[in-house]
Every structure is written in C-alpha cells, then in structure tokens.
Structure 1
C-alpha cells in the first residue's frame, strides 16, 4: 500500500480511528510546527506525541519523550518498546540508563535540562521533544525545569506540549510561539468516554444533575439531603434536651423508645467495603478511590481486609498470586516481612489495593500491572495516580472535597477535581465513566456541581533563577543573552500580561498628554506669549503653584494638629469648679466644670453652661481651646444631679461676675512658614505670573501636569512588574561573585570561575550549600557510609517540621553534619543580605538510616533508625530518599576536590544500590 504522508501510514497501523484534534495535532507535527494540545485526561492526546516518535524514526532524527515523574517515564518506555522494539528506544531517569544512544529516549524533564546545560552530544540530530503533562510547569517545587528546557532547546527542535485542559491555553500558546516559533494551539473538551456525575448518599446513588437540564442539581438528591439535614437538626435538639434532663435520666426513662431518633441511627457515610459492594451491584467497578493521604489509603485497605469483601474469582486470585510472587522474587524474605507482604498480597488476591508514593516502587508497579489487566477491581490512591499514569477505571470515587496542601486543609479546585475524575472511563472498554462523590453532612451538592461543571484551571509559571541555573546560563550563553532569556520566560510573559491594562492606560494617557500639550501651545500662541520654549517655562510656573498649594495645605494641617493638642491639654487639666470660656457663634460661652476628665488622652469633662445645658464635651467639639476665666464653689446637689440643678447653676452665674473675653485666642494660627514665603516670592518673580489670561492657561497647564504624572506612575508600575527576574539574577551573581563562583572582568561583565564550573554540575535544591561543603572539604575524610549519611542532609525533607540535633553513627559523621549546618547558617545570612530566597535547612532525619543501609544493615533495622530520628518513613519513602542520595552522590563524585572523596562517593552508590533500592526502578 502506498501512503501520501507518514500520517496516513501511522493511522493505518492503529486499531482505532483518530479524533479530529489528534489529526490536527499530528498534521502540525508533520508540517514542522510546534504544537500545544490541551485535552481532558483520557482523551488520547499522547497519540500526537507517539506520532512525533514515529516521524523521527521515519526521518532518521531523534525524539525525546519527557515526563514529570519516573513512574510515567517507565510506563511510556515500555509502551514505545512494544511499538518500536528495544533497540530503538532508551530510558534515562537519573538513576536508570537503558540504551542511552537510542534515537528515541524517554526521560524525566530534569535529565533533559541537565543535558542542555552540559551541551551533551546526545542532543545531536534531535528534532522533536514531547513534553507530556506540560502543565506541570506550574508545580511549585519542580515546575521551573520545564521552562528551562523550553528556553534552552535549540531553535531547530520542535516542542510538542501535551497538557490537561487549562483556561489560559491561548496565553501559554502565544508564549510558546514567541520563544519557540510557529506553534499551533489545539484545545478540545471532548472526552472519548463521556463522564457521568453521581453523588452517593448512604446506600443510594443519585445523578448529580437533573436530567434534561443544563447543570441544574438533581431535585430528588436535594430533597433527600434536606430531609437528612432536618433529621440531624432535630437530633441535635433532642441531644440537648437529653443532656438537660437529669430528672428523666434519674428515673430511668428510655429515650430510645420515646419515638425520637436514637444516636446509632444518625447518618454516617458508608464504609469502604460497603461502598464498593454498592458500586459492584451497579456494575461500576473497577474503581479508584482518591484519598488525600497515604495513611488514609492504607487504612482503607485494612478496612477492606477486615471485611468479607472479595472482588475476584478463585482463578483470578491464583493468577494474581503468581504475578505477585514473580514481581518480588528478588526481594529478601526478611525485607518482605518488614514490608507487610503477606497482608498486601492477601488484599491483592481479593481484588483491592492501595497506591501511593509511600509504597515500595516494586509494589506499586505490581498494582499498576494487575489493575491494567483487570485483575484488581478497587484501588485506594493519593492524587499522584492522576498524574498521567495509565490506570483508568470505570469509576472514580471521592470521599472528601478537601485536601492538605502542605500548609493547611484547602478545598479542591475545579482543575484538581477534573484531573482526578478524568481517570474514569476506559477508552475502548467502557461506554461511560462515572465520577462518584460520597455525600457527608454539610456538603453542598451545588458546590460539587460547580466543581464538576468547571473543567479548566489556569497555568501559572513558577520559574525563577537559581544558583545552578545562573552559572549554567553564564557558561552556555553569556550574561546579556541570559538576561534576555529570563525576560522571555513564561513567568515574565505572565507578569507582562498582568499589566496589559496598565500598558493600554499608558497609551491613552500619552495620547491625552499630546492633545493637551497641543491645546496649551495653541492657547499660548493666541495670547502672543514671547518665549523660546513657552511650554516648559509655563509648566515650571504651574509647578511653583502646585508646590505652594502643597506647602500651604501642610502648614494648615500643622496648625490644626497643634490646635487639637492644645484643646486636649486644656481639657485634661480642668478641675471641679473651673469656669471656662468656650467658642460660641457670636461671643464666647461660659461654663462650669462639674466632673473633671478621667482620661488625659481623650478628656471628656462634664460641664454645665450658663444657659443651663449640661453634658460631657470632647476635644472634637472645640474649634479653639477654651480659656479658664475663674472658678466657683459647686454645691453637692449640683454635682450629684447637674441636670435637675440647671436653674441653680444659672443663678450661680448671675450672682458671680466672670470676665468674658471678646474672642478666644488662637495660639496655633496658620502663619506662613519660611518655605511658603519663599515660594510666594518665587511665584511673583516668575515671568508667567504676569502673562495675560494666566488663570485660563493655568487650567490647561494643570491638566497637562496631571496627565504627565499619570504616565510616569503607570510606567513605573509596569517596570516594577516586568524586571523582577532580571534583578534577582543580578543579585544572585553578586552573591556568587563574593564567593568566587563568578568574577567580573574589566568591562564589568560576569563569567564563571573554576569553582563556578563545579557548581554548574550540581543539580540539587541546595546546590550552593553542596558546593560550599565540597569546597571547604568538610565532607572529606569520611568513609562511604558516613559520606552517604552527611550528603542526605541536602536531599531529605521531612514530612513534618523538625530541627533536632544532628545524630550520626560516628564522631566524624557528627562533626561533618554540624559543619554542614554552620555553613548553611552563613549562607542563609548572605542570602538574606542579598534579598534572595533562603536555601532549605539541611535536615538530618535520614542520615543515620542511610548510613546503616550503606554499611549493609537490613531494611527493618534502617527503617527503625529513621523512625527513631523522627523521619516517619514508609518503605517507598525509604527507597525514594535512598535514590535521591545516590543522585547527589553521583554529583559529588564528579565535583569533589578530593580524589578520595570522589572514590568514596562511588563506593557509597554501589553499596546503596541493593535490595529494595535496586528493584522496581
């Protein structure tokens, strides 16, 4: 058969027809255009990436397929090997290297970033880079790597971005087109397997939406929930009544027979086994239940194990057991006991499992294999399962709509809800997918409907320069291009986009400024003003008027403040019987103090006026400070009840003669300051002061000044928003220069030093701390196990906050750990001085455990050591942390100043890579 295009040949080899968006994406790739495909989970967007792989092989070029996590890289590697054979495909994930010279290489994004900075020969003939889950660039901790890759790839490389549906896809596509060239944005909301939304209330499962409506909540569901809420409210009232009924309880009254609901009848969501049983009866299995904690997943599994739930046949259980035994054959028996293997296998054989990052990788892979084969029917998983791993189910179950984000419990966003429920519905297997939310008290179905209806979320950059990035940019492209590259980042693009409104305002303000300036020139010309530069001369006059007005207002405010202070001072000192003269409309009014003020800061004395009015007065009532003009004896009756004694007070004033001032003195009069006098003189001396029609001209001049001010303010605001990355880059270079990783030449251009070359090879969150420790030699003279333990301080991050004392196995190890902390303290101080983010504190919680493992101790012993140090590790955590130590030890081996340290790093790597750490990568 003859094909016109490679796409025709590619389509002929598929077992299913392509959707329109897939054809559009593949066509763009074949036409040598970049492409961004935004589609729901399970829509089949990876087809576009797989076509790029096929096209590269057909054209004799290379294609890299990048993913955010190793599990997804492993899965994609096996998929491509099935399609193209082992010789054509390689895998690079930091700790795994398979066929690295292949034309098709699957890798984590960090590996590609490191290749770009190292200017690796592997990049030769590279024509396509597929970036799966490209929306991961919004990840707080690792998202910046995606932008480093996109910006660092050669212009000849086409980027194929595969993303979940994001609300700002056009913005992201415009940025890709700006930095990568011609890029087509393809967005679809189509799901090949439609998704039904359900809500489970007890054992009843309701459609979330009213049939035949556009997003209206199911009325039967709302009615049922309202009835439950009403019953719960009544139960609350009954409980209160019961607590108040001592007498009834003392007489043994049986409330359970009184017709009122009993406590055991209260609404409670079903347990996990019951939920699965209900869904099995509705033919909704297999299912994934998302639980936002590892402990929650393990607890759900234990709950099912304690029940009588069995989801498999005897034949299926035997097949599962065989697959499980083969998958763990290389794990020592003593380690299997520590891993709780017997219970885990029992759960699998009954058809249910947990899946989370805390599990041993080998165990996770077995769960994925069994679920994909349809042998496991229920999985309890954390949200990491939703990130690209090909484990679709018929149904997804959500028990809660809140999750812990590392700082507190927050509501799920529409994007997170869409990502999780997107796992429901298996293409080619299911006709429909199901998203099931378990209702609980106080859960609002309308809010769930809102989450289900909003299918997009914004993609926001987390890109920022760091130490390793900065020296690598200097090394590879130089200072000025590095500045330009940072300014081309999506973070910068979004900062610019956020001030688009201000930029448009600038344009409008500049146009208004030009029009007003032309109006002023015309008015000056009409008056025949003789001047070489009448505009600027007149504006200098307007500025004098502005300055004078400002100073006069300031002087007036000062006088008012002084007057208020004087009023407070006088009122606070008044005593019983003092007669005061207060401001009046025509003349001062006399009054006698009955009760002095009790608060000197806010004095409010009680007075009786000569008219007989009585009451408290506060400072705000006085325009001028009152004056004491005499005193009189006040009878007790007046003091006790001044209102009833008003006639008596009038008579007292009539009998006594007090000097009444014609007007009160204003000791804080608004007198011109020296600055006001100087400005008034300058104003009178200015030539424009005597121009004809000066007031009419001044109105135009004032308007022109306001418009110029507005332009300047907006430009300042935009400048502040768009230059942050460049300024941070400069501050990083200043600090690196102080530490001799960077030096400035005669033209003040920075370049990296020999120490900077080593820093460029350290790809770690604490890169500068690692470099400083190696440079100062504090990690020298350690044996391999000690070195592994100390190095772990720069890779380990405890799940709970802890800064205990460094605990090591030997004195040399403890000394090195303490020195590492001291270097961090110095570094943190320098970073604070340069207004840079503080490097993460070096945590010692994993040091003793990895030391013991490197020294040959069994898994159980090492896990116990970790937990004693407060690390709270699961087996999966242990393996992941051990592999991170291996990764950093590889970098230590390449960058150590001491040959013995480099050799010990190599020995430590070999010692760590054994048993569970070496299996299931």
Structure 2
C-alpha cells in the first residue's frame, strides 16, 4: 500500500492546488484495484480522477484508454497528455486521426473502442484502465448504446473509470456497474466549486432569475417578482394585440422589443465585467451569423497588445495551410473577428481554427465565443458567464425544449475554478417567455440517467460470432436498460409475494374440524355465479317476449 500511496503523492504533486475530498476518495479506490463512478457537477474537477488512472497505468507498466464522446475533446486530451507525458507515450484514434495507436496512453472516441472490442484487436493487450469521460452520454438516443456495449464487453481485468455529470440515480448506475464489472465504488459530489447565479436578459436589462427575498415564508426558488411583472405585462400586450388583430388591425409581433440582440448581449456583458463568455446557439449558421453581427457593429473587446498576440498566434497556427486555401476558408474574415475578441466554435470549422480559438479563449485573449452545444461536452474552455440563446433546439426529429440535464450541462461551463469567485448563467428573453419554466430548469439540481440501449442486428451478429449464442444472450441481458427494467418489477413482485403469504396465513386461520372452508367458499362462489347467469338469462327471455309482442301489434 505504501508504493501505491507514493504513486498518488507523485501524481498530486503535478498540480498546484490541493485535491478535493471526493477526488482523493476516487483515486484511493483506483489505487486499491476497484473501478469507480464519479458523479460531479461540470467544472468540479472530476477529470482529474481519469488523469490519475492514466498515471497509475504508466506506473504499473500497463495501458490506459481515455474515451470521449466527441473528436474535439479527444484532440484536447491528446494535446494535454502529450505535454505531460511526451509524444512517444501518447496516441490518438478518432475517425480523422490515427497517431501512435500502440502507445501506453491512447485517447479515442468511444465508437473506436467499441469497434476494437468486436474485432478482438491486439491493441487491447496489456490494457489496465479505461476512462469513460462524459459517461452520462449513454442516455443519448442515437449513440448512447455504445457506452453500454463497451462497459459490458471489456475484459474483467480492466478497471473502468466512469466520469458523469450529477445524476439523481448515480447509486443505481453504480450498482449496475458493480453487477457487470465487479467491485466498483460510487462517489457523488453535488457541490459546485464556484457558485452559479442565474439571470434573464430582457432588452438591455439584466434581471436576476430568482428572488433575493429572505425570511421564514420565502421560497428558495421563487421567481424574481420584477421579472414576473415583465412577463405579465408582455402577456397583456400580446392579448391586446391579438384582440386588435382579430378585428382587422395590423398585428405586429408582441414581445419582440424585449428580445436582446446579440450585440446588446456582448455590450452588456462587457459593461458588467462578465466576460469571457460563451453564448450557446443551437446551429452552426447561427454562430457564424452572430460573429458577423459583432463585426458589423464594430465591436472590439481587445486592446492593441492583445490584438498583436492574437494575430501572431493565429498566423503561426495557420502557417501549415497555403494562401489559396486560407482565402477559400475565409481566413481574413475569421482573423479580423478573432482580433476583435469574438469567434464562433462548431463542428463545421477547420480543426486548426477551432484549436486556435480554444487556446486563445483559455488564455483570456478571445472574450466572446458563439458555440454549439458540443462545447459543453467536457472541452476545457471555462468562462465567467454562459449565455443561452434559446431554450429549444432541433433534436433530429422536431424542435423540443431542452431538458434540465442539458441546461445543467450548458450552464456548468460558467465559473472558472481558481479565477472566478462566482459564475453567471444568462437566458435571453423570447416571445411568450415563462420565467417559472426557466426557474424549473435552473432549480432541478439532478436528473435521472436513463438507458438508451437497444440491441441491433449488427450488435447481435458480432456477439454471436465472437462468443457464441448463449454468451451473446447473457451479455445483452446485462445492459443497464435490462437492469432498470428488472428493478422496475421488483416492487410489484414483492407485493404479489406478500399477498400470497397473507393468503396462506388466512387459510391456516380459518381451518376447522367441521370441514374445508375453501371448498365451501368455492361452492358458494359457483352457486352465486349460477344464480347470476340464470337471472341474466331470464331478463333476456323477458326482453325477447316483449319484442315479439310489439311485433304482433304492428300493422
């Protein structure tokens, strides 16, 4: 145990801050040879536990695979580990890149590891740890099953480190992990290291979402009465305009004057000292349009010195591309916006441009980033403030309201640990805005993790080919979905057993020497059923007689 503790001490010395208690407990579990599930808020430092698994694997002479849900996060972790451990010890496997795949540390997307398991890849030899970052992604309808497949199919000798956002059923998920993986500790941390304050921006004004009233009768999550009054006034205006419109008058869109423009948002954040900030816009085109609006309004958030540093860094990173390529990619316009301190960030951007934005934002040179929600998936770009453009998005089938889990994931980027004393989450006003609905999203501290596992033909064929029919069936029955379904019937099953036991007790209580009471009750039931049947038949006969008599009276 002394050697393992010294490994932890050497790892802790890599950081210039003391580790939190939940981080220490998770690392101790790994050092003792157990798997671990860490459920903690975004920005709380749960990734450090995954980094300890990497460190432990190297100390033990084994391998560690670090899996992420998106390529951008894989690229970032690859860069971080390369700086710490050296390029010869770190590899990257994504759909776009294959670098040093036989290294002891390999960062990859989860689908790559799933494919390795099905193919029986030799790269799995010597694997000691697998870190599954953002493991709550298994609830995703389109890709979530991949996480469960990996967890189920990994060799028993591999310790799994599951890093999740705070979910209300973490213990249930931890029990499933212990069932399919063996010893597994569940560690839940609900405290945010940086307090988060919620706001709503109406026009050019910034309102607190929650009331600051205190006292014995004050509700902890009561909506700010001033904001509620704005909502009521807007509702009355819409009703009035609807009434005039129904009488043939021109009906302008109500509430539009309260919707802040994106340039208004940036100006207000800058004036309130709430930059750097990330505004989440659920479309790539919307992110790019927001940057163009800032350029058109001649917004400038940087000093002359900062502009020089931005240009020098961007030109260095873009030097790998030819002049003609840069022109086609819109490099001059991108660089101009970057020098102003604003940029977009989405999957449609060239990786070199995205990485440049990430580095400059982390360095505090880029002040405002308009991003799609992929930025909320663990990429290390914490901000002082987070702005949510709309509370609905396209989910692949229709426009739907974002869930409490998605809201928590997005706003979790706000508040930089060790830099900010508080973080700020801001929702923009929209027509028919309902403060109570937003308060419900913001006050839902945790949300349940639900499996999206659905066996597919491809999955079944791969399993049968690899392990045979019976074993394949056992593996499919080991899913978190089946685990949750089995638990759902435990309560009713126990009630049935309880009722059967009670019935047996009644049988013993009513037994006597004069005869079998149950046989008597059965005869009474049969007699009652027969009497009811005869009564029903008589009523039918009388009805038939009445109909026949009426038919005779017809002329």
Unaligned regions of 5+ residues in structure 1, if any? 245-261, 568-582, 584-622, 632-921
Matching of residue 527 in structure 1 with residue 511 in structure 2: no
Candidates 408, 425, 432, aligned match of 1:435: 425
Structure-2 residue corresponding to 1:223: 229
Q: Give the drift of 1:299.
A: 1.9
Aligned residue for 1:267, secondary structure, equals helix
Residue aligning to 1:25? 26
Q: Which region of structure 1 is more displaced relative to structure 2, 463-472 or 262-271?
A: 262-271
How many angstroms does 1:556 deviate by? 7.7
Are 2:483 and 1:483 equivalent residues in the alignment? no
Aligned to 1:112: 113
Pick from 385, 409, 418: which aligns with 1:419?
409
User: Partners of 2:337 and 2:399 in 1: how far apart?
Assistant: 30
Aligned to 1:710: none
Q: How far is 1:88 from its partner?
A: 1.9
Kept in 1, the 8 Å contact 2:221–2:443? The answer is yes
1:366 paired residue among 356, 371, 375: 356
* Superposition pairs of residues 451-470 of structure 1, within 5 angstroms: 451-470=441-460
Aligned to 2:553: 629
Alignment of 1:208-219 (within 5 A): 208-211=209-212, 213=214, 214-219=220-225
Structure having the higher Rg = 1
Q: CA deviation at 1:53?
A: 0.9
- Cα offsets for 1:640-669 (capped at 9, x unmatched): xxxxxxxxxxxxxxxxxxxxxxxxxxxxxx
Within-5 A mapping of 1:252-263: none
Shift of 1:397: 0.6
Contact 2:89–2:103 (CA under 8 A) maintained in structure 1: yes
Counterpart CA distance in 2 for 1:461 and 1:4 is 36
Unaligned 5+ runs, structure 2: 215-219
Q: Is the 8 A contact 2:22 2:189 kept in 1?
A: yes
Q: Structure 1, residues 813-872: CA drift from partner, whole Å, max 9, x if none? A: xxxxxxxxxxxxxxxxxxxxxxxxxxxxxxxxxxxxxxxxxxxxxxxxxxxxxxxxxxxx
Distance across 2 between alignment mates of 1:212 and 1:268? 25
Contact 1:36 1:183 (8 Å CA) reproduced: yes
SS of the aligned residue for 2:260 comes to coil
- Cα offset for 1:93? 1.5
1:394 paired residue among 375, 384, 403: 384
1:384 to 357, 374, 377: 374
Aligned with 1:515 (options 500, 505, 508): 505
Match of 2:295 among 291, 301, 305: 305
Partner of 2:308: 318
Counterpart-to-counterpart distance in 1, 2:295 and 2:109: 36
- 3-state DSSP of counterpart to 1:17: coil
The match for 1:137 is 138
Equivalent in the alignment of 2:12: 11
Q: Distance in 2 between matches of 1:241 and 1:95?
A: 60
Query: How far has the Cα of 1:278 moved from its partner?
Result: 0.8
**Over the residues paired in the alignment, what is the CA RMSD in angstroms?**
3.2
Question: Deviation of residue 266 (structure 1)?
Answer: 6.8
Q: What does 1:282-297 correspond to in 2, within 5 Å?
A: 282-297=272-287
Structure 1 stretch 77-86 or stretch 173-182: which is displaced more? 77-86
Is the 2:231–2:433 Cα contact (8 Å) retained in structure 1? no
- In 2, Cα distance between the equivalents of 1:552 and 1:388? 74
Equivalent pairs counted in the alignment come to 548
Q: How does 1:702-721 map to 2 (within 5 A)?
A: none
Distance 1:171 1:624 in 2: 68
**Is the Cα contact below 8 Å between 1:232 and 1:266 reproduced in 2?**
no
**CA drift at 1:370:** 2.0
Residues 322 and 35 of structure 1: CA distance in aligned 2, closer, same or farther (over 3 Å): same
Greater relative contact order structure (CA < 8 Å, 6+ sep): 2
Aligned to 1:168: 169
Structure 1 residues 304, 513: CA separation in 2 closer, same or farther (over 3 Å shift)? Answer: same
- 1:514 Cα shift? 2.8
Partner in structure 1 of residue 340 of structure 2: 350
Structure 1 residue 233: Cα displacement:
5.1
- Deviation readout 1:492-547 (Å, 9 max, x if unpaired): 10111222222222222331343345457x35xx2357xxxx98x98997897798
Name the CA shift for 1:552/1:267 in 2 (closer, same or farther; >3 Å).
farther
Task: Go from structure 1 to structure 2 and tell me whether the alpha carbon gap of 1:241 and 1:627 turns closer, same or farther (over 3 Å shift).
Answer: closer
Aligned to 1:5, the other structure's residue is in SS state: helix
After TM superposition, the structure 1 stretch with the greater mean CA deviation from structure 2, 79-88 or 162-171, is 79-88
Distance 1:59 1:549, change over 3 A: farther
Contact 2:62 2:127 in 1 (8 A): yes
Q: TM-score, normalised by structure 2?
A: 0.90
Measure how far apart 1:239 and its partner are. 7.0
- CA distance 1:546–1:329, shift in 2 (3 Å): farther
Aligned positions of 1:573-652 closer than 5 A:
626-627=550-551, 629=553
Separation in 2, partners of 1:272, 1:101: 47
Q: State the match for 1:860 in structure 2.
A: none
> What is the distance in 2 between the residues matched to 1:447 and 1:549?
59
SS for the counterpart of 2:431 is: coil
Distance 2:153 2:415 in 1: 38
**TM value normalised by structure 1:** 0.55
